Amino acid sequence: MSAAPTDLTGKTCIVTGANGGIGIAIAEHYAQLGARVLTTDVGESFAGACPAEHRAFDLLSSEGLQDCRDWIDAAQPDVFVNNAALFDMGNVLQADLSQYDRLFGLNVRAMYALMQAAAASMVAAGKSGSIINMASQAAHRGEALVAHYCATKAAVISYTQSAALALAPHKIRVNAISPGVIDTPMWATVDGLFAKFEGKAPGQKKREVGEAVPLGYMGHPRDVARVAVFLACAQSDYVTAQTLSVDGGNVLR
């Protein structure tokens, strides 16, 4: 018996939040495996090294979100990666409702709306596609300074499970990836926020979290992209409603 292929030739794959470190890595891995790659972010061009059909959308605006939904419907994806997200910090006394609105607006509301659009397109086209939602190790436990973000990522996992059960009769698989501390450009912002709220020196928090990982170092975007390849291809045909952790052993479930 031969192994299931990882080839994505002939597949249309959409990646949102495509200009972040993880988004770029996923798009590049899909392109290397033969996929037609479509990307979106707030920026007007795609920053990766692979060919991609790119569109810019502001997913926090109702008009931008609807335009993106229409774009997804027209593209008829086989694989949809829901990667766009925002991060911010503030303790319970400081994390105000404007921060709540922004994080829940993108990480939950837009995530759900785009997942819904991708699913509807797959059903209409009769495709047994794969939807991959990006969660986080923050979804599995609260953190004093990251309450809103943790809650949004917990919601991603819950919606992933519900959508997977609803779409199983259509043979559409819905799974989530839960990255741990991944060495992306965003970590400069995260490190700066921890320096502000915890009084740490620049670079200190990043070094500490890497050393605290059981494997002893921060992950690379390619580590997440490899799992996104698994969930996109035939090797995961019998996997749905799951959250796969890519965190070096940080979260034990």
238 catalytic? Reply is no
End-to-end CA distance of the chain: 32
Neighbouring C-beta atoms of residue 113, cutoff 10 Å: 18
Residue type, 74: A
Q: Nearest CA to 252 among 141, 148, 153?
A: 141
Catalytic residue, from 149, 159, 217, 238: name it.
149
Identity (one letter) of the amino acid at 201? A
Catalytic residues: 149
